[in-house]
Structure 1
Amino acid sequence: MKDIFVIGSKGIPANYGGFETFVDNLVQRQENRDIKYHVACMTFEKDTKNYEYAKAECQEITVPNIGGAKAILYDLKALDWALKTIKERDLRDGIVYILACRIGPFLHSYVKKFHKYGFKVWVNPDGHEWKRAKWSAPVRRYWKLSERLMVKNADFLVCDSKSIESYIKEDYAKYNPKTTFIAYGADITESKLTHEDSKVSEWLKKHQVKENEYFLIVGRFVPENNYETMIREFMASDVKKDLVIITNVEKNKFYEELKEKTHFEKDPRIKFVGTVYDAELLKYIRENAFGYLHGHSVGGTNPSLLEALGSTPLNLLLNVGFNQEVGEKGALYWSTEEGSLSSLLEKTVKLDQAQKEELGRRAKNQIKNYYSWNKIVFDYESMFMK
């Protein structure tokens, strides 16, 4: 039996989040029964539970709700749990798989302890956390240091983007990191909802939106996702369709700054519609968008991009490496230069139906061929058993 301890997701069953969805699919779609998963799950409650989910052992780890630092504390406490479990059960020859690079300064001492029991420490470096604008300069310096030390001390790194793998190999060449590429996953399934469903009709009516008459953005409302560029360029274009933005802007300082800079509230086409947590409704909204805009400039393979490629025929992506490797010829690309996106928007509304359908077909093929969850889980199980 190969014991795999998964550290760093908030837990399963997944309610939200990329890593949580990944772990959920990893254990639910498990084929190889010679693997036993042990998953750390974050809680703020003092009384913790140990429970089984899809044959995986799940252990709640209590942390105080102390802002960003809680994730570091959570990872360290989860590693302590994994080490204790390995000792008590006399487990040997397994893997501790850490998601994200939050605990670099502490990793070296843990690696030595796990090696005593024949356990290897694997890391998923995620994306460039140190580039995110939400962090102060000292915090960004910590994230960069932490990333470097995670790469230096890990036995193996699994990158969910070829661009991230290239970056790790080039920037940290002196450590000669051992890496592989296994993507994030997605499914192509149509929404169970129809135009007649009350959920759909109420949502469309509430936001004064018509099917196929809007471009769509879905994602966290942060500067590195290039909302300012997308909104400015949309406002500068002469397209008659709406721009529907699904994101959480409550008490968001960036939202107020952007309103002051762009005055988007004066353009009736720009529609911030809040969040949509109903998965089927969100899928319907994606399927019935005229096109999807994706401006992520930080990270690896982005879950919202995979979902868009699997459901929205027309996808307009920021031309950075990890977006291009996912979209390939199934998407159109724009840059942050003034006029780039606005001119592309104006061109896309003139595409004929056959051109749109061909782009949609290519996009779906990308998901089927390279990003299906069944393929991703198979790749992981094969790698774990090696």
Structure 2
Amino acid sequence: MRIAFVGHKGVPARYGGVERHVEELGSRLAQRGHSIIIYSRWNYNFFKGRYKNMRIVSLPSIPQKHTEMISHTFLSLLSLLDKEVDVIHIHSVDPALLSFIPRLKAKVVVTSHGQAYRRGKWGPVAKRLSLIAERAFILFPHCRIAVSRTLKRYYEDRYQCRVVYIPNGINILEENGDDTLMHFGLSKNGYFLFVGRIIPTKGCDTLIEAFKLVKTTKKLVLVGGSSYTDSYFNDLKKRADPRVLFLGYRFGRELSQLYANAYCFVMPSEIEGLAITLLEAMAYRQCVIYSDIPENCEVAQGVGIPFRNRDIHSLAEKLTIALENPAMLKELGKKAQDRIKEEYDWDSIVTKTEQIYRGLFR
């Protein structure tokens, strides 16, 4: 089949859960003999040519918070009008605002990775447009996918429509090295770790304030950067105590070693779709301390340590419990990795997606 992926930032994935999802899904479909086109934004990753047997098409966008996604999606869909494709797969709900365009020539699938209008960085006009896009997600695609059971239930209950649950997948990777840690002044088991975009709904302010209440010589490491949220990011840096390190975005072996050698992973997010960084931490056999929102509980309940969402004192209490119980963390980390192997295997996810595509032509 000839399949085009649209709506995400780009591939090769530099950062972002949606982008890593697209890269993994697309490359595995290509290995199975499908012809894959991936559309990327110039300002994310200016890459043209073939990558992991996928054709990468880089196009411009209007690089502003409210226009970047929709302008790039529009140009991508226009580009596809003169190409022979069987399926156009749009990733994220907001680009689905334009999902009526590709219906002119191909089957359309849209995957919801979350609800953008719930994020604090958007103003009232942007949130309203995001809600309109949600209705387009219900009306126009031939098939709708949600990456979490929580999202699936929401759409089906509110709109009385069918949504298929296919989660994010994750690779089980072993990392035995720790040589890159010295560049950051870190040591094995000497830090708590957060990985993700530094935006208000990720709850980093709750994490930093809670860490102030914890008596420990261990450090708190935040890996990630701003996403049109510079003022929030800078405020966090001012509020953080000297034990907190902001490392920016890290990739490849550096990121792998940061995951593998952390004492514990913390996911304080206030809203999620299905957090790939949470899955990655569990895949590295990390115990996870997580906010008790439904999307996180769906993944980590019973194999991690929950705290009350947005509750600084609850999080500080759970960080302290983690410090006092290293054996418990090791046991939970093993259970977390086992859950990833059982429920978030990429081969199974690709097969389910392939079945969706084939079913559109029956």
TM-score of the alignment, normalized to the shorter chain, above 0.5:
yes
2:306 is equivalent to residue 333 of structure 1: yes
2:197 aligned residue: 220
Query: For 1:206-285, what aligned pairs fall within 5 Å after superposition?
Result: 209-248=186-225, 252-258=230-236, 263-265=239-241, 268-269=242-243, 271-285=244-258
2:287 aligned residue: 314
Q: Deviation at 1:304?
A: 0.9
AA aligned opposite 2:296: N
**Alpha-carbon displacement from aligned partner over 1:13-65 (angstroms, at most 9, x marks no partner):** 323322222222223223774532222222269xx997333333333323343
1:348 aligned residue: 322
Query: TM-score when scaled to structure 2?
Result: 0.89
2:88 is equivalent to residue 100 of structure 1: no
CA distance, structure 2, for counterparts of residue 233 and residue 41 of structure 1: 38
AA aligned opposite 1:79: L
Task: Name stretches of at least 5 consecutive residues in structure 2 with no aligned partner.
Answer: none
For the residue of structure 2 that corresponds to 1:221, the secondary structure is: coil
Answer whether contact 1:291 1:312 (CA < 8 A) is retained.
no
Query: For 1:99-248, what aligned pairs fall within 5 Å after superposition?
Result: 99-108=91-100, 110=101, 112-114=103-105, 119-173=106-160, 176=161, 178-191=162-175, 193-194=177-178, 197=179, 199-204=180-185, 209-248=186-225
Q: Deviation at 1:317?
A: 0.4
Q: Deviation at 1:85?
A: 0.8
For the residue of structure 1 that corresponds to 2:99, the secondary structure is: helix
Distance change >3 Å, CA 338–CA 8, structure 1 → 2: closer
Distance change >3 Å, CA 105–CA 17, structure 1 → 2: closer
Q: Deviation at 1:249?
A: 5.9
The share of aligned pairs that are identical, in percent, is 22
**Could you say what the CA RMSD is over the residues aligned between the two structures, in angstroms?**
2.6
AA aligned opposite 1:334: F
1:16 aligned residue: 15
Distance change >3 Å, CA 56–CA 242, structure 1 → 2: closer
**Alpha-carbon displacement from aligned partner over 1:291-338 (angstroms, at most 9, x marks no partner):** 111012223111111111111532100001111111132111001235
Query: TM-score when scaled to structure 1?
Result: 0.84
AA aligned opposite 1:290: Y
For the residue of structure 2 that corresponds to 1:123, the secondary structure is: strand
**Alpha-carbon displacement from aligned partner over 1:106-142 (angstroms, at most 9, x marks no partner):** 433x25513xxxx321111221100111111211111
For the residue of structure 2 that corresponds to 1:360, the secondary structure is: helix
1:55 aligned residue: 53
AA aligned opposite 1:346: T
AA aligned opposite 2:250: Y
Answer whether contact 2:181 2:187 (CA < 8 A) is retained.
no
CA distance, structure 1, for counterparts of residue 64 and residue 254 of structure 2: 33
AA aligned opposite 2:146: C
Task: Name stretches of at least 5 consecutive residues in structure 1 with no aligned partner.
Answer: none
Answer whether contact 1:25 1:377 (CA < 8 A) is retained.
no
Distance change >3 Å, CA 105–CA 379, structure 1 → 2: closer
2:82 aligned residue: 84
Answer whether contact 2:303 2:333 (CA < 8 A) is retained.
yes
CA distance, structure 2, for counterparts of residue 338 and residue 112 of structure 1: 47
AA aligned opposite 1:9: H
CA distance, structure 1, for counterparts of residue 130 and residue 219 of structure 2: 38
Q: Deviation at 1:192?
A: 5.5
